[in-house]
Structure 1
């Protein structure tokens, strides 16, 4: 087991592993209060509005007082991206496919509720207690499928990546932020019309033909759910095929397992 002393201070605080001080008055702040204030600012103003100074103003202290709890804005982001995540749905006896569909949708919806998450430059692999709870529940749902642990992590990573990507598309096609290049796009149909004007059929023959045929006219599912379900079903069909392949290879006594991924990106 890793020595707690090797963990970054912010992670020790997030996991409640920082030794409690027995001297002096009880601090008026804690990491949770600071993180909640930062999330409130991010929800209202976007990630650009979050700074050590703005968070300090929100909680009514000098900016220097925050450094006792978070050493930098990067550390604050680590705490924010964990604290903003709701509890994962519980399996409650659901079949693995039904549960993972619910799990993936809940991740997508959480990002759409706090779209500043899309502005985080690098969403690190999960290290906080809440995001790791999501990973735990996904792995637990796959118990009994015959998948190896590395394959289970790969499944969770693929679904989490899909949830994040779909949230980015919905946010962008739905209008996004007014100052972005997507401001002129109010839906999938507008996006298709724009591409039809931009694309040179000689360079993009297949894509140009699809856009000119009106393929995006019926793709409002980017906003109302249809395309999300389509893509999710494709992924889960692949997982189901893998589960069946593992069942057959187990019966044949063959091990063709995958390796554990190095960089899971689950919420």
Structure 2
């Protein structure tokens, strides 16, 4: 797995010139996952989208588990560079960039969980985030935990906001909001606090995302200030 993720595995050298590359295989798998969800990805399905047989794919990648790891790191991509920003603004922008990545490839919410080896792009995202806290006065564990909390918030909001490919709900964010408003209009006495809050809330897709990021960063700023006093 490490050799695949980090590009250390030798490509087939015998026989005619290869019709595909590992990157090309991963890109085909990404197209399938973007359109239909991660469950739609299989070695046979990827082979059908490429000019090779299923058995030929095994010369490049042992199976779906390894393929998902490679395609996930490729889809995550390298983190955008925001070196010119102060730490707080840089971390918020970093988190919003991560949310945009999940928006572009919702299946990453499934493929990037659990204990697993990380590829160069995912580690680059972590490096970029931790780098912004390297001179903050926080110790290494606190720096890593700060990035974990930010990432967890982004993932949670993304999970709630997006309809994954293959979902059968068929409901949009507007559908849900309208249905909830109709329910509360007739059940206001049963849910008075919720009804009052909804009446004054300017709801939008990123409201919870940015509100949560700002509160997390408020807490970090207080901690960093305390360490420097």
Measured after TM superposition, the shift of residue 237 of structure 1 is 0.7
Aligned 8 A contact 1:15 1:129 in 2? yes
CA distance in 1, matches of 2:12, 2:173: 54
Equivalent residue, structure 2, for 1:190: 178
* Cα distance in 2 for residues equivalent to 1:143 and 1:51: 41
Map 1:19-98 → 2, pairs under 5 A: 19=10, 23-98=14-89
What TM-score, normalized by structure 2, do the two folds share?
0.85
Alignment of 1:91-170 (within 5 A): 91-120=82-111, 122=113, 124=115, 127-170=118-161
- CA shift, 1:143, in A, is 1.9
Give distance in 1, aligned partners of 2:44 and 2:18: 19
The number of residues matched between the two structures is 229
Q: Deviations over 1:69-122 (max 9, x none)?
A: 222212111111110013212132311101001100000011011122234483
Structure 1 21/189 Cα, relative in aligned 2: closer, same or farther at 3 Å?
closer
> CA offsets per residue over residues 112-158 of structure 1, 9 Å max, x none?
11122234483555610111100011111112111111111111111
Of 50-59 and 83-92, more deviation after overlay is shown by 83-92
**Would the alpha carbon gap of residues 177 and 42 (structure 1) be closer, same or farther in structure 2, given more than 3 Å must change?**
closer
Structure 1 CA distance for aligned equivalents of residues 199 and 21 of structure 2: 49
In the alignment, structure 1 residue 16 sits paired with structure 2 residue 7: yes
CA contact (8 A) 2:43 2:64 kept: yes
Does residue 235 (structure 1) correspond to residue 210 (structure 2)? The answer is no
In angstroms, what is the RMSD of aligned CA positions?
3.0
* Residue in structure 1 matched with residue 196 of structure 2 by the alignment: 213
What is the aligned partner in structure 2 of residue 247 from structure 1?
228
**Is there any run of 5+ residues in structure 1 with no aligned partner, and where?**
1-9, 203-207, 249-267
Q: In 1, Cα distance between the equivalents of 2:11 and 2:44? A: 26
Structure 1, residues 39-72: CA drift from partner, whole Å, max 9, x if none? 0111122223211111011112111111222222
Instruction: Give the secondary-structure state (helix, strand or coil) at the position aligned to 1:106.
Output: helix
